[in-house]
Amino acid sequence: MTLSIVACDPDTGHLGVAVHTGYLAVGQLVPWAEPGVGAVATQAITEASYGPGALGMLRAGNDPGRALDTLLGRDPLREARQVAVVDVGGRVAVHTGDRCIPESGHAVGDGVVALANMVEADDVWVTMLEAYESGSGNLAERLCGAITAGHRAGGDLRGSTSAAVLTVTGNVDDPPWSRLVDLRTDDHAEPVAELARLLRLSGMYDLLGKGINASYAGRHDDAIAALHTAVEHDLGNAQAGFWEAFAHLAAGEPDTAEALLYEAVGDDPRWRLLWERLRADAGEGPAESTGG
C-alpha cells in the first residue's frame, strides 16, 4: 500500500520520515517524529498508535527493538503491519509481517530503514535505501529523493495519490511539537513531484522568515541578504519582493524600498494597503505614490 523511509542523520542528529502511497492523506497516519527522541513509519494495514506508542517508549529509555517488540506483542494483527523505528542514536528496528501484500519488504542501513508493501517491483526498498545513501542535501531532501527513486522503480500498484515528509531536530530540549519540515500532498496526480516542489518552496519561505525576523530585530544587513536570496530563489514570489522592500525601508532606505516595492507588486491595492500599515507602524507616515 505504501513505501516509506525512516532515518537519523548522523551528522546533524536530525530525524525524519518520507512516505508515498496510493491512498488519501498519507501524512495523517504514517509518519511520526519527535525532536531528540526518534522517528517512526507505520503502514500496510496501518495502525497509527504505533507512532506515539514507539516514541513514548523511546522517550522512556527503551531501544527501538524493545519498543517495537513490545507493541507487536500486544497486536493481534501484527502480521498485517509494517513498522520501522529509529532513535536519535541511529539504532533501528523494523517489522514486515507475513500478511503484508506482496511485493513487500525492507532494507536496513546505518541509521536508516526503507520499507514498502503492495508495490509493483521486488526490491523497491533496496532502491530507496541506495538512493538515500548516495543522495545529497539535508535530511528532508535525501528522504524525498529516496521515495522518488522508489516510486520510479515500481511504486504503489494503485498509482499515486499522496506523499509526505516530516523532519525534526535531534535536540530533546526542543518542544515535542516543533518541526524542521512538515509537508504533505494529500491528493495530487503527481504527489512525489509536488512534494519535491513544496520542499524547494519551503526553503524559500525559510529565507523569508529569517529575513523578516532579522528586520524586526534591527539586523538590517542580515535581513536584506536573506530576503534578496529569497527573491532570487527559483520559486521566489511577490511576497519575497515585498519583504525585501520592507527590509530596505526598515534600514532607512526609503527610495530603494519604494523601487523594490513597485517591482514586486506594482500598484496592487492589497499589497499597497499592507505597505501603508507597515510604514505607519514603523513611524514613517503615509507613503507617496510611486506612479508607474
Query: What would the pLDDT profile of 28-65 be if each residue is shown by its tens digit?
Result: 999 999 999 999 999 999 999 999 999 999 999 999 99
Q: State yes or no: pLDDT of 114 exceeds 60.
A: yes
**Per-residue DSSP letter, 26:** G
Query: What would the pLDDT profile of 32-41 be if each residue is shown by its tens digit?
Result: 999 999 999 9
The whole domain housing 244 covers 203-281
Number of independent structural domains in the chain? 2
Residue 286 lies in a domain: no
What is residue 285's predicted lDDT score, i.e. its pLDDT?
44
On whether both 134 and 240 belong to a single domain, the answer is no
Residue 72 lies in a domain: yes
What number of H helices and E strands is found in the chain? 9, 10
Task: Check which CATH number belongs to the domain holding 180 and give it.
Answer: 3.60.20.10
On whether both 31 and 169 belong to a single domain, the answer is yes
Q: How confident is the model at residue 287 (pLDDT cuts 50, 70, 90)?
A: very low
Q: State yes or no: pLDDT of 288 exceeds 60.
A: no
Q: Where are the beta strands (DSSP E) in the chain?
A: 2-8, 15-21, 31-34, 38-44, 81-87, 92-96, 105-109, 112-117, 162-168, 181-185
What is residue 156's predicted lDDT score, i.e. its pLDDT?
76
On whether both 135 and 161 belong to a single domain, the answer is yes
Residue 136 lies in a domain: yes
Query: What would the pLDDT profile of 194-235 be if each residue is shown by its tens digit?
Result: 999 999 999 999 999 999 999 999 999 999 999 999 999 999
Residue 60 lies in a domain: yes
Instruction: Quote the pTM value.
Output: 0.92
Task: Check which CATH number belongs to the domain holding 207 and give it.
Answer: 1.25.40
On whether both 47 and 157 belong to a single domain, the answer is yes
On whether both 49 and 21 belong to a single domain, the answer is yes
Residue 175 lies in a domain: yes
What is residue 1's predicted lDDT score, i.e. its pLDDT?
62
What is residue 100's predicted lDDT score, i.e. its pLDDT?
96
On whether both 39 and 133 belong to a single domain, the answer is yes
Q: How confident is the model at residue 154 (pLDDT cuts 50, 70, 90)?
A: confident
Residue 288 lies in a domain: no
Residue 23 lies in a domain: yes
Residue 134 lies in a domain: yes
What is residue 283's predicted lDDT score, i.e. its pLDDT?
58
Indicate the angle between helix axes 238-250 and 254-265, nearest 10 degrees: 170
